[in-house]
Structure 1
Amino acid sequence: MRAQVSEIVFDCADPAALVRFWAGLLGGAPVDRGPDWSYVEPPGFVRIAFQLVPEGKVVKNRLHLDLEAPELDAAADAATALGATRSGGVVTDPQGSFQVMRDPEGNEFCFVSG
């Protein structure tokens, strides 16, 4: 049997707010199924869902999304305008460059180029 990814789910404190951030970042229309579950289906990507949990985020994510962005500073500026924050500066190595970001609830993601 071979499984297929149907969605990526983030635990969070405010699904309705977080889905609107990610919809603004990746495209797609935010959908609220109820106060404890929202999702977005970004064009060309798997559904991303957000579920309400009682506990807050405590440590670094063990999984994060890398988002291709030819212009890291422009992508980081646009994400910041939506409510994200930069985490450190741009890192460059022989494979390219990346900027670590945090969404409004602190979930890490990266803009990558190269």
Structure 2
Amino acid sequence: MIGHVDEVVVNCQDPSGLAKFWSGVLGGEPVDRNDAWSYLDAPGWTRLAFQKVPEPKVGRNRLHIDVLVADVQAATVAAVALGASQVGAIHVDAVGTFQVLLDPEGNEWCVVRPAEMIP
């Protein structure tokens, strides 16, 4: 083993805005270190940080966050109210249920409910 995850950093154009958005999704208080760096310490997870870069996001993420929820449809509605965009319909299969979403800067993420958790 080399080490432990210290934080996950998202390159973006509005660090403060994304920290506020993700605090609404995951909990924790957004902190603005300066104009180019914000973060939040989400309960039960590692620090999620946002670093300002000059270029906008282009293409799909190579890494995305899956957020475990009790109700995918309700979580989708709540996420959209915070500023997320829904991509396609809710997907249901033998493995579970998920909805692809975009955060305010277009970063893909999903709300998920594994099949073994569905009553």
Range of TM-score over shorter length: over 0.9
- Is there any run of 5+ residues in structure 1 with no aligned partner, and where? none
Counterpart residue identity of residue 56, structure 1:
P
CA distance in 1, matches of 2:91, 2:3: 34
CA RMSD of aligned residues (A): 0.8
Q: Name the residue aligned to 1:57.
A: 57
Helix, strand or coil at the partner of 1:90: strand
TM superposition shift of 1:2: 2.8
Q: Distance in 2 between matches of 1:96 and 1:25?
A: 20
Find out whether 1:21 has 2:21 as its counterpart. Answer: yes
Structure 1 residue runs of 4+, over 3 Å off? none
> Per-residue deviation at 1:3?
1.4
Question: What corresponds to 1:47 in structure 2?
Answer: 47
2:72 counterpart residue number: 72
Residue type of the partner of 2:48? I
Q: Give the drift of 1:53.
A: 0.2
Q: 2 CA distance for matches of 1:96 and 1:112?
A: 8
Identity across matched positions, percent = 52
Number of aligned residue pairs: give it. 114
Instruction: Report the CA distance between 1:84 and its aligned residue.
Output: 0.3
Letter of the 1:19 counterpart: A
Paired position in structure 2 for 1:85: 85
Task: State the match for 2:117 in structure 1.
Answer: none
CA distance in 1, matches of 2:112, 2:27: 18
Aligned pair 1:111/2:111, yes or no?
Answer: yes
Amino acid at match of 2:19: V
Q: Give 1:102's aligned residue.
A: 102
